[in-house]
Amino acid sequence: LPQPELVSSGYCLAQAGREYVVYLPAGGEVTVDLSAAQGTLQVEWIHPVTGQITSAATIAGGGRQTLKAPAPGHAVVHLWRR
């Protein structure tokens, strides 16, 4: 479901508490509200043009987290609870 209020970029599809897909139109950083997600979430970055997937460290749910794209330009970050 679209849930733009959960992210600073305004582009988010989420099943709050379980899975989030966030688009960063200009790359850089994004703050994600993970208050509904308890425990640890997996993180992967997806390059929207090439489809290249880069796994990243896990992050903790339960609050706001700021993530930085691994490369310049637009990006997608996929977060999900194991």
Share of the chain above pLDDT 90, in %: 96
Domains of the chain: residue spans and CATH: 4-81 (2.60.120.260)
Q: What is the pLDDT of residue 21?
A: 98
Query: Does residue 11 have a pLDDT over 90?
Result: yes
φ, ψ of residue 69 in degrees (nearest 5): -60, 140
Q: Kindly provide the residue ranges of all beta strands, DSSP E only, lying in the chain, ordered along the sequence.
A: 12-15, 19-24, 29-33, 40-46, 53-60, 64-68, 75-81
Of the two residues 57 and 78, the one the predictor is more confident about is 78
Please tell me the distance from the alpha carbon of residue 17 to that of residue 12, in angstroms, as a whole number.
Answer: 13
Pairwise CA distance, residues 74 & 81, whole Å:
24
